Amino acid sequence: MIKVHLVPADGGEALTLEAKPGQSLMQAAVAANVHGIEAECGGLLTCATCHVYVREAFIDKLPEPTGDELGMLAFTASPKKPNSRLSCQIALVPELDGLTVDLPATQT
């Protein structure tokens, strides 16, 4: 299992999840009913409501975003930052054990 940590926008205590390899971060968050990940499109890359901010230590461990992901990142409800990613595009692999992301203040 791969541990991931999601930090709420208010800076409160991080929620730690155990995800299966191959799951997307979005799928793991939705399965755990994480408040703050809406994922309205179910991972089809058409909603941008699965936006997260990836902590610096993990940015280089993620594959570069595709052009389609970059395009959708223009539509996030909370400000887009250099570490913004769409969690449905983050495939959880063992190298990402301990992945920590901050949740945006709003997804809609």
User: What are the residues binding ligand FES (CB under 6 A)?
Assistant: 26, 39-41, 43, 45-50, 72, 86, 88
| Residue closer to ligand FES, measured from CB, 13 or 44 | 44
5 — phi, psi (to 5°)?
-120, 130
Q: Token pair of 73, please?
A: 């990142």
CB of 104 to ligand FES, least distance (A): 13
- Of the pair 2, 37, the CB lying nearest ligand FES is at 37
Partners of 101 in the beta sheet? Answer: 6, 54
Min CB(39)–ligand FES separation in Å: 4
95: amino acid identity, one letter? E
For residues 76 and 61, give the distance between their C-alpha atoms in angstroms, rounded to a whole number. 23
